[in-house]
Amino acid sequence: MTKSTVTFYYSRKKIGLYLLLNFGLLALAALFTWSIFPDYAPIYLYALIACAISLFSTLIVFIFPMPLAVLDDNQIKIDHNNPLRWSQIKRLEEQDVDCLGVNRSILKIIPTSLPNYKKSLMQKITDSSRFGMFSIPLYAMDEKSAKRITKLIKDHLKEQAKEKGKPVKVSAKKQTSTKPAKKVAVSAKKQTKKKTVKKHIAKR
């Protein structure tokens, strides 16, 4: 277990790709605003402003890396939210959540009752969503950092459980697909039919 503060950042490579996406969206919004549908300029102007803000925000994060999470022996701080003490964590879940039609891996932290905790605006928005109030977007990190932060959090929770004398639940990644189960069920039916046919032939 770490004895000092460990800081994790968003992957610069993935932020760079998102930056290119924002450039593309901004160019597309500009094309629609001034060339294709000039009569509906106010609508596309709104889209243009939204894309420009997103591009500017991404550019700032790319130039000045923003900490994704900061861990020490007492607490974890995610983004610009208020810190959460290890003793305030009830459960840790590894999940795949659907984001724009793509499954994204996250670590979802389920806290105990937090009557005096001051939520940020983003936490108020995501509290009732699949991401929850405390989640770490593993998909926004490089693979090495994602594995390391997962291990460190689990180690901290195990240490906390020893002190409390009560284990903290850590659930494995939830599978969203049920296709393998269906295949097993189908194959089982085929085997049953084969056995029935064999018995019928044997009787004859």
Kindly report, residue by residue over 86-109, the tens digit of the pLDDT. Answer: 999 988 988 887 765 677 788 999
Are residue 41 and residue 72 in the same domain, yes or no? no
Shared domain check, 27 and 76: no
Alpha-carbon distance of 92 to 13, in angstroms, equals 27
Work out the percent of the chain whose per-residue pLDDT is above 90. 20
Same domain, 47 and 96: no
96 plus 158 within the same structural domain: yes
Collapsing DSSP to helix, strand or coil, 128 comes out as coil
Q: Give the pLDDT score at 6.
A: 93
pLDDT score recorded for residue 168: 62
pTM of the predicted model over 0.85: no
Continuous H helices in 78-166: 121-126, 143-164
The owner of tokens 């992957």 is: 11
Position 77 in a domain: yes
Six-digit token string for 51: 């894309």
pLDDT of residue 191: 52
In this structure, the answer to whether residues 27 and 40 fall within a common structural domain is yes
- Expressed as residue numbers, the domain containing 50 is 11-63
Side chain identity, residue 76: I
- Is 181 inside any structural domain? no
Domain count, the chain: 2
Q: Which of 48, 63, 78 is the last residue of a domain?
A: 63
Distances (CA, A) of 150 to 78, 108, 134, 162, 180: 14, 11, 14, 19, 27
DSSP letter at 79 equals T
Judge if 22 and 52 occupy the same domain: yes
Same domain, 72 and 167: yes
In a domain, 184, yes or no: no
The answer to the question of residue 154 being in a domain is yes
Residues 93 and 113 in one domain: yes
The answer to whether residue 84 is domain-embedded is yes
| Residues 28 and 81 occupy one common structural domain | no
Is 36 found in the same domain as 129? no
Q: Is residue 26 part of a domain?
A: yes
Residues 26 and 58 in one domain: yes
CA separation (Å) from 156 to 70, 92, 163? 13, 11, 11
Closest CA to 107 of 52, 73, 68: 68
State the pLDDT at residue 149.
94
- pLDDT tens across the length of the chain (204 residues): 445 899 999 888 888 877 787 788 777 777 776 676 666 656 667 777 777 877 787 788 778 888 899 999 999 999 889 999 999 998 898 888 776 567 778 899 999 888 889 988 888 888 888 888 899 989 888 899 999 999 999 999 988 888 776 666 666 555 443 344 344 343 444 455 455 544 444 455
The answer to the question of residue 196 being in a domain is: no
Q: Tokens representing 90?
A: 């009830």
49 with 125, same domain? no
Tokens 């923003």 -> residue: 66
Per-residue pLDDT at 41: 59
